[in-house]
């Protein structure tokens, strides 16, 4: 696994559009990737330019049940969505981050490495326990590689960016 040393960064608020999906962990890789194309298609149909790389935003994590994930794309300014695509804003604040190069299957281990590092640094996540699972303010996988340009999944680049409590 090829990951960078984790760091802490400050991020400004970032408007985005996304499709929200609830899915079991074992279906993430099959159910969510097609939604990226749907979001880009929606942006194109509304003449809205993307303002960054697509991402998955993990809102609720229940490893035994379902995860609530937003498949999103940053935009320059806030957008009102519709019944399928919603607008939102990623919160400003401090984030722990690391850069991963490799197959998406390795992101589970990369995530574990980031969580372990933060624990060792006594950092606190912006997360709360709910009856549905852990609700995160912003737990992101930013996909830096366009699969059309780099079909080798072992060369894909992903940034993990998780919001810390203030």
Q: Is the dihedral of CA 59, 60, 63, 65 positive or negative?
A: negative
**Which among 10, 158, 7 is positioned nearest to 91, based on CA atoms?**
10
The DSSP H or E segment spanning 39 is helix 33-45
Which tens digits make up the pLDDT trace of 116-131?
Answer: 999 999 999 999 999 9
Mean pLDDT on 26-30: 84
Average pLDDT value for the chain: 95
Does pLDDT of 11 surpass 80?
Answer: yes
Rounded distance, CA 47 to CA 39, Å?
Answer: 12
Which tens digits make up the pLDDT trace of 79-88?
Answer: 999 999 999 9
Does pLDDT of 48 surpass 80?
Answer: yes
Three-state DSSP class for residue 116: helix
The DSSP H or E segment spanning 107 is helix 107-120
């Amino acid at each position: 696994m090829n990951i960078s040393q984790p760091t802490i960064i400050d991020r400004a608020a970032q408007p985005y559009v996304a499709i929200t999906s609830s899915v079991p962990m074992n279906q993430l890789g099959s159910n969510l990737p097609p939604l990226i194309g749907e979001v880009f298609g929606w942006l194109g149909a509304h003449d809205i330019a993307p303002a960054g790389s697509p991402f998955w935003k993990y809102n609720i994590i229940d490893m035994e049940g379902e995860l609530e994930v937003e498949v999103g794309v940053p935009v320059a300014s806030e957008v009102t969505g519709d019944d399928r695509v919603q607008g939102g804003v990623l919160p400003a604040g401090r984030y722990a981050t690391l850069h991963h190069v490799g197959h998406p299957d390795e992101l589970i281990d990369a995530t574990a490495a980031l969580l372990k590092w933060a624990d060792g640094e006594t950092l606190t996540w912006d997360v709360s326990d709910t009856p549905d699972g852990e609700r995160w303010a912003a737990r992101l996988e930013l996909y830096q590689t366009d699969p059309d340009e780099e079909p080798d999944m072992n060369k894909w680049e992903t940034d993990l960016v998780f919001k810390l409590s203030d």
